[in-house]
């Protein structure tokens, strides 16, 4: 089963009233660094009909201490409350989209999937919807509260100690840009470098110019180049746990289950006593 839907497939689902759509537009305000960008204003200007705005910072992240990372995992109750606000009930299909190559939508996908929801990501996101000539509406959408009940949304997340030990038994993927992995620059966190034993595979390598995922053969070949294939224990981390969810989505699409170190480099670099590697 694919974890993605195309714009055409989503349009069909909307006509059948068989889906709940969430708009997860969020990104860094500038490539490589800067303040977080909330896409609510863009959502209000235009969104997929019936889509509810999902606030990544408030609903898909828990505010914590620096040593927990910049985007600590929310509690199950927090995500459940958000999903109910979106009007989700048990058994509903949810489709998440964004305008940033699927990265923030993948955060929603990962959490809801852990919670037991049937959830997909719109391949190509907002740009694909516009390119397909999909209908657009403006303003805010609200539904009567849903009654969905979620399982534990933190199940496949590694602790910092588990992440440290993971390269001994599997492949730990650092999915940030190569220059951040090598420790040449660090725009957001206090120390530059990477977790010892990690392998660099930027998640941007999985996305075509139009924002859709590359074909499965190319994806599997990319993973094989860093030692990941069927049956390989694999986990991903990034700067703060958002981008890592996208790599988990890509791996799932390729038929490979992955764990995520959600504290990621922001937690590692803010926790004294953890070694730092630089270079390739």
> Are the beta carbons of 19 and 95 closer than 8 angstroms?
yes
Q: Which one has a higher pLDDT value, 175 or 190? A: 175
CA atoms within 13 A on the CB side of 109: 29
221-239: average pLDDT = 95
236-259: average pLDDT = 95
What is the per-residue pLDDT for 27?
Answer: 80
Among residues 156, 63, 85, which one has the least CA distance to residue 114? 156
Cβ neighbours, 10 Å, residue 247: 27
DSSP string, 247-263: HHHHHHHTT---EE-TT
d(CA 255, CA 267): 29
4-131 is classed CATH 3.40.250.10 = yes
Q: Which one has a higher pLDDT value, 234 or 29? A: 234
d(CA 258, CA 248): 6
Catalytic residue among 22, 195, 213, 238: 238
Q: pLDDT, tens digit, for every residue of 32-57?
A: 444 557 889 999 999 999 999 999 99
What is the per-residue pLDDT for 33?
Answer: 44
pTM: 0.94
181-199: average pLDDT = 94
Domain boundaries, the chain: 4-131, 160-268
Residue 227, token pair as written in the block: 């030692």
| Beta pairing class for 259-260 and 33-38 | unpaired
Q: pLDDT, tens digit, for every residue of 51-66?
A: 999 999 999 999 888 7
183-206: average pLDDT = 94
Instruction: Name the CATH superfamily, with its identifier, for domain 160-268.
Output: Rhodanese-like domain (3.40.250.10)
Percent of the chain scoring above 70 in pLDDT: 96
For residue 269, indicate whether it is catalytic.
no
Fold match flag (4-131 vs 160-268): yes
Residue 13 has pLDDT above 90, yes or no: yes
């Amino acid at each position: 089963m694919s974890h993605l839907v195309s714009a055409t497939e989503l349009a069909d689902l909307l006509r059948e009233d068989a889906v709940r759509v969430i708009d997860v537009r969020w990104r860094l305000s500038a490539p490589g660094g800067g303040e977080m960008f909330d896409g609510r204003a863009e959502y209000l200007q235009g969104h997929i009909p019936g889509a509810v705005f999902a606030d990544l910072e408030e609903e898909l992240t828990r505010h914590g201490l620096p040593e927990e990372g910049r985007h600590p995992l929310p509690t199950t109750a927090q995500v459940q409350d958000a999903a109910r606000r979106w009007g989700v009930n048990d058994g509903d299909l949810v489709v998440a989209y964004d305008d940033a190559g699927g990265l923030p939508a993948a955060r929603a996908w990962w959490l809801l999937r852990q919670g037991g929801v049937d959830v997909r990501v719109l391949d190509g996101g907002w740009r694909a919807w516009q390119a397909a000539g999909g209908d657009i509406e403006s303003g805010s959408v609200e539904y009567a509260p849903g009654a969905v009940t979620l399982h534990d949304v933190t199940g496949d997340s590694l602790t910092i100690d588990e992440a440290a030990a993971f390269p001994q038994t599997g492949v730990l993927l650092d999915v940030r840009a190569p220059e951040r992995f090598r420790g040449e620059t660090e725009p957001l966190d206090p120390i530059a470098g990477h977790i010892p034993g990690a392998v660099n595979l930027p998640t941007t390598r999985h996305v075509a110019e139009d924002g859709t995922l590359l074909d499965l053969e190319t994806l599997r070949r990319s993973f094989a180049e860093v030692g990941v294939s069927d049956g390989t224990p694999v986990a991903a981390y990034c700067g703060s746990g958002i981008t890592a969810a996208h790599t988990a989505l890509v791996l799932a699409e390729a038929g490979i289950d992955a764990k995520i170190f959600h504290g990621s480099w922001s937690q590692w670099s803010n926790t004294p006593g953890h070694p730092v590697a630089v270079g390739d």
